[in-house]
A and B are shown apart, each in its own frame.
Chain A
Amino acid sequence: MTTATSKPEAGHDTAAEKERWLRAYRQMVSIRLFEEQVNEVYTRALMPGLAHLYSGEEAVAVGICEALRIDDYITSTHRGHGHCLAKGAAPDRMFAELLGKEAGYCRGKGGSMHIADPATGNLGANAIVGGSVGIATGAAFSSKALGTDRVTVCFFGEGALGQGSLYEVMNLAQLWKLPVIYVCENNQYNEYTHYQETTAGTILGRATAFGLEAARVDGQDVRAVNAIATQLVKRARAGTGPAFLQCDTYRYSGHHVGDINREYYRSKQEEQLWKTDRDPIKVLSKWLIEQGHADSASLDRTTSEVRATMEAAVKFAIAAPYPSVDEVEKHVYA
């Protein structure tokens, strides 16, 4: 069991490092602004269904996915927009999916909670809490059986710690030494309930009980997340076995966009503290400026570019056609 910090390795390449963290910055801003647009589109009643925003948790998805190859696998959750974007999904096709349009990743048949994309190794977001732990472990079984070195990351929130199937598959993964990393995004709340009210014992203890390599990291520090993820991915790729990573983070919004009055389960003061003191984008931008990798003007330019991309993506999705009704019976069976 280790606790990760964001100390960069000695002898690193400064230019490559600068490029990497500027890319990570752009990725995190992309997720933040994507979700801003989702909120906007949803509140304008242009988006059907539910929207679970990832804002506040960007450093987890980006820190982890920056340690992965495009052909590595991920499984995602109902709060999955960030994972999909960080793994390489295009915002316009994501928005099209969110609006139920044919140009969406799932031809409009999955929606916000089910984005899947073989081209970026995204096995799919899953709207059953803990529902993808088996799929992720199975993908890791395939890597081992087929002799590839693909790694699978299974993202889930701390709410999934209540699901027994997680413990079944961690046991299997450790017995079979599968290349899977279980990433627990502890955003503090199982829907409307603080995790301490639902979680006996420790989170990491659940993984160490099965002998998994287990680590805990500040999920608001993308460099720390990436540093530990890089180690765990390397280890998994080498065939050493599965790992479990607890990322402490915070969900800025409610459980879903409609969860507005939240004071009965958490205070506005608490929300504000995370936003001012521990915001993952602020944490990284401060470091980028300190290191001389960027200045506030260049970071603002990045934000403006990303905002334009997201606005264009929304326009594309709104203008895109719905699937024809004869699509309804397609893809029930392969």
Chain B
Amino acid sequence: MPERELTFAQAVREALAEEMRRDSHVCIFGEDVAEAGTPFKVLSGLVEEFGSGRVVDTPISEAGFTGVAVGAAMTGMRPVVDIMFGDFITLTMDQMVNQAAKVHYMSGGHWRVPMVMRTTLGATRRSAAQHSQSLHAWFSHVPGLKVVLPSTPYDAKGLLKTAIRDENPVVFFEDKMMYKLKGPVPEDDYTIPLGVADVKRAGDDITLIATSSMVQVALGAAILLEKDGISAEVVDPRTTWPLDEKTLIDSAKKTSRVIVLDEGYGRYGVTAELAAVIAEGAFYDLDAPVKRMGAMHVPIPFSPPLEDETVPTEQTVFEAARKLCGKE
């Protein structure tokens, strides 16, 4: 039987539906999550199956409904909050950083916050500076939060199911440009543990560590590199916290060259952290400095040729990898 394929959006929806069937405490809060199924149509059909008491349309009050989710999570529910664009996490920061992330610790372990925040990242949708950012580094910085960055439909389903079952606040970033990406997704009830990286492609000459939207870019670059005689390994950490440092370091030791790719800003960002992990763990095995590639340090511009300039592409990664391997 051929493997069933789903889009990334369908995989997210299937994970939610399965978990909502499994556990009546799972509920969804967000703007236009019910009948509208979100502007991305990721949640279409859920309100019809689970009702408006569990797929709850909210006012445009990100701080308010995120706070409600924190309190609901503390008192028996397992809410999944939908923040339409990752740029809007700014509005939820006190609830996530000062409340959700700290409740368990501050209470000496007495209260728990088993909630998920689903949101998006990624540029090149021509949405300009307030609908295009990749701000997952901010949450990765905060003790008490876990941060998930799925890069395939398979990972999206398995990781989201794990996130919903986790006893902690988990932030789940979906690349909005990837919603239509298709891939094999089993119908089984499988889960993927948080903190386990995945080698998306094995190789010997250079490691491309890539997250979320950059995994597909790295895989495309690897094909170009192969034609050029360079064997690239693509490693996806899948979660920025917990972080599977060992798999990243092992790959770096094996290939001796590393490019870290992430669509967030490089400065003080995910690429900085991952590069530091490699520098600390594989320094004596490296044949070249670790190269970082991420969004340019500018607000995302609207004009298409300008916007396209801001994020790494298969071609720019290919060129950087060749250079790192000594092929000018």
Give CA–CA (A131, B167) in the complex, Å. 22
- Near A by CB (< 8 A), chain B positions 17-75 give 25, 27, 53-54, 58-59, 61, 63-75
Q: Are A106 and B108 in contact (CB under 8 A)?
A: yes
Using A142-B77, A171-B64, A334-B167 as known contacts, say yes or no to A124 and B70 having CB atoms under 8 A apart.
Answer: no
List residues 85-137 of chain A with CB under 8 A from any CB of chain B.
104-110, 114, 116-118, 123-124, 126, 128, 131-137
CB–CB A134/B144 < 8 A: no
Of B58, B106, B146, which contacts A110 at CB under 8 A? Answer: B106
- Complexed CA–CA distance, A104 and B107 (Å): 10
Any A CB within 8 A of the CB of B76: yes
Is residue B112 within 8 Å, beta carbon to beta carbon, of the partner chain? Answer: yes
* B167: A residues at CB distance < 8 A: 333-334
Is the Cβ of A124 less than 8 Å from the Cβ of B64? no
Q: Max chain A CB contacts within 10 Å: which of B25, B64, B79, B109? A: B64
The segment from A7-15, A24-32, A162-170, A193-201 found at the interface with B is A162-170
Interface: B110 (CB within 8 A): yes
**Cβ-closest chain A residue relative to B57:** A175
Instruction: Tell me if A110 and B72 are in contact (CB < 8 A).
Output: no
Chain B residue nearest to A121 in the complex (CB): B75
For B61, the chain A residues whose CB sits under 8 A away are: 168-169, 171-172
Contact of B68 among A75, A117, A134, A333 (CB under 8 A): A134
Q: In the bound complex, what is the Cα–Cα distance between A190 and B79 (angstroms)?
A: 34
**Which parts of B83-135 form the interface with A (CB within 8 Å)?**
94-95, 98-99, 103-112, 114
| Cα(A207)–Cα(B276), bound, Å | 51
Residues from chain B with a CB closer than 8 A to the CB of A169 are: 61, 64, 67-68
- B71 partner, pick from A109, A116, A134, beta carbons under 8 A: A134
- Contact yes or no, A118 B110, CB < 8 A: yes
Known contacts A165-B67, A168-B63, A168-B64; A138 and B73 CB within 8 A of each other: yes
Q: How far is the CA of A171 from the CA of B103 in the complex (A)?
A: 24
Q: A126 to B103, alpha carbons, bound, how many Å?
A: 10
B143 close to A (CB within 8 Å): yes
B98 touches A128 (CB 8 A): yes
Q: Is B7 interfacial (CB-CB < 8 Å)?
A: no
Expressed in whole angstroms, the Cα–Cα distance for A124 and B95 within the complex equals 14
State in angstroms the CA–CA spacing of A104 and B106 once bound together. 11
Residues of A close to B68: CB separation below 8 A = 134, 137-138, 141, 169, 172
- Residues of A near B63 (CB, < 8 A) are 134, 164-165, 168
A73 vs B54: C-alpha distance when bound (angstroms): 22
Count A interface residues, CB 8 Å: 45
Q: Give the docked Cα–Cα distance between A137 and B25 (Å).
A: 17
Does B151 reach chain A (CB closer than 8 Å)?
A: no
B72/A138 in contact, CB under 8 A = yes
A162 to B118, CA, bound (A): 29
Task: Check: B211 CB closer than 8 A to any chain A CB.
Answer: no
Q: Does A297 contact B (CB under 8 A)?
A: no
Report the nearest B residue to A109, measured CB to CB.
B108
- Do B109 and A123 have beta carbons less than 8 Å apart? no
* A106 contacts B106, C-beta separation under 8 Å: yes
A44 interface residue (CB < 8 Å to B): no
Return chain B residues, CB-CB under 8 Å to A123.
71, 74-75, 111
Name B65's contact: one of A104, A106, A136, A172 (CB within 8 Å).
A172
Number of residues in B with C-beta < 8 Å to the partner?
Answer: 43
Contact between B69 and A106, CB atoms less than 8 A apart:
no
CB distance from A296 to the nearest CB of B (A): 41
CB–CB A136/B107 < 8 A: no
Cβ–Cβ contact B59 & A168, under 8 A:
yes
Pick from A117, A145, A152: contact of B27, CB below 8 A: A145
Are B77's CB and A141's CB within 8 A?
yes
Residues of A within 8 A of B99 (CB): 126, 128, 131-132, 134-135
A110 to B104, CA, bound (A): 10
Contact status of A104 and B71, CB under 8 A, knowing A134-B66, A333-B168: no
Q: With a CB–CB cut-off of 8 A, which chain B residues contact A141?
A: 68, 71-72, 77
In the complex, A164→B146 CA distance in Å? 27
| Alpha-carbon distance between A142 and B29 when the two chains are bound, in angstroms | 13
Q: Which residue of A lies closest to B114 (CB)?
A: A334
CB distance from A134 to the nearest CB of B (A): 1
A116 and B67 in contact (CB under 8 A), knowing A131-B99, A138-B75, A145-B27? no
Question: By the criterion CB–CB under 8 Å, are A131 and B94 in contact?
Answer: yes
Asked, given contacts A128-B94, A135-B67, whether A142 binds B72 with beta carbons under 8 Å apart, the answer is yes
Contact with B along A153-180 (1 / 0, CB 8 A): 0000000000011001101100100000
Extra contacts besides A135-B70, A141-B68, A145-B53 (14): CB < 8 Å: A106-B108, A109-B106, A116-B107, A124-B103, A128-B94, A135-B67, A138-B67, A138-B74, A145-B27, A145-B72, A145-B77, A171-B61, A331-B109, A334-B104
Residue ranges of B at the interface with A (Cβ–Cβ < 8 Å): 25, 27, 53-54, 58-59, 61, 63-77, 79, 94-95, 98-99, 103-112, 114, 143-144, 146, 167-168
Q: Tell me the A residues contacting B by CB distance below 8 Å.
A: 73, 75, 104-110, 114, 116-118, 123-124, 126, 128, 131-143, 145-146, 152, 164-165, 168-169, 171-172, 175, 330-334
19 contacts between A and B (CB under 8 A): A73-B75, A107-B108, A110-B107, A114-B106, A124-B103, A134-B64, A135-B67, A135-B70, A135-B99, A135-B103, A136-B71, A138-B71, A138-B75, A142-B75, A143-B75, A165-B95, A169-B67, A331-B109, A332-B143
7 tightest A-B contacts by CB? A134-B67, A138-B71, A168-B64, A107-B108, A106-B108, A135-B71, A168-B61
